[in-house]
Amino acid sequence: MNVTLTTPGFILRPPQLGDAEPMALYLNDFAVTGNLARVPFPYHLSDAQAWLRTLLPTQPAEDTNFVIELPGEGAVGTVGFHMGQLGPGIGYWLGQPFWGRGIMSAAVRTTIGWFFATSRQDTLLSGVFHFNAASLAIQTRLGFTETGRSNLLCLARGAEVEHIDTKLTREDFRQMQNSLLLSEGAENRHLEGQKNEVS
């Protein structure tokens, strides 16, 4: 689908051929690709160009990809959905210079909200390699639950790696969204109270 989503700090938009250079820059980093299943390392400009050419604007929600575009930085990562044998899944990555800013959490949360609003699917699959605690924390916060362990080929490592399999239901995401909104509202009220005390 050809859709753009807006957040307070960045946009999520359809990938373009012009994204190949920044994608090659950030994915030619083993700290990134070593956490991904289907991305080789080293990662070349030709790899990015080949992947971008496979994408079509007519693809359904279950096979839609978004580029994370930061103001002044351009493309710094992606979030994408793909239809597998067991159902739709989500995958994502972010360039290492942008870690630790909450960008990935916001991007995944926004795109999942769009997915459940657009698709009739009630369950979304994902998972992380066993050492990727940061990604697992994002999924847990959004309502994903662990369904088991498997061995999954990591192209960058050239080996099968233990994988924590996860899933998210539409209802679990809705409940987690409500919980997050309530906690964010309480935090905002607390900050507003502190501001009034100071002024």
Query: Taking the model in full, what pTM does it have?
Result: 0.89
Give the ranges where 60-169 is alpha helix by DSSP (H): 103-118, 133-141
| Whole-angstrom distance, CA of residue 166 vs CA of residue 138 | 12
Q: Domain containing 140: what range?
A: 5-99+108-198
| Whole-angstrom distance, CA of residue 109 vs CA of residue 106 | 5
Q: Which of 53, 47, 117, 123 is nearest to 90 (CA)?
A: 123
How many domains would you assign to the chain?
Answer: 1
Per-position pLDDT tens, the chain of length 199: 789 999 999 999 999 999 999 999 999 999 999 999 999 999 999 999 999 999 988 899 999 999 999 999 999 999 999 999 999 999 999 999 999 999 999 999 999 999 999 999 999 999 999 999 999 999 999 999 999 999 999 999 999 999 999 999 999 999 998 887 777 666 655 556 555 555 4
Laid out side by side, the sheet with 5-6 consists of 5-6, 11-13, 65-70, 74-84, 87-94, 123-129, 159-169, 145-154
Q: Which of 152, 109, 101 is nearest to 130 (CA)?
A: 152
CATH number of 178's domain? 3.40.630.30
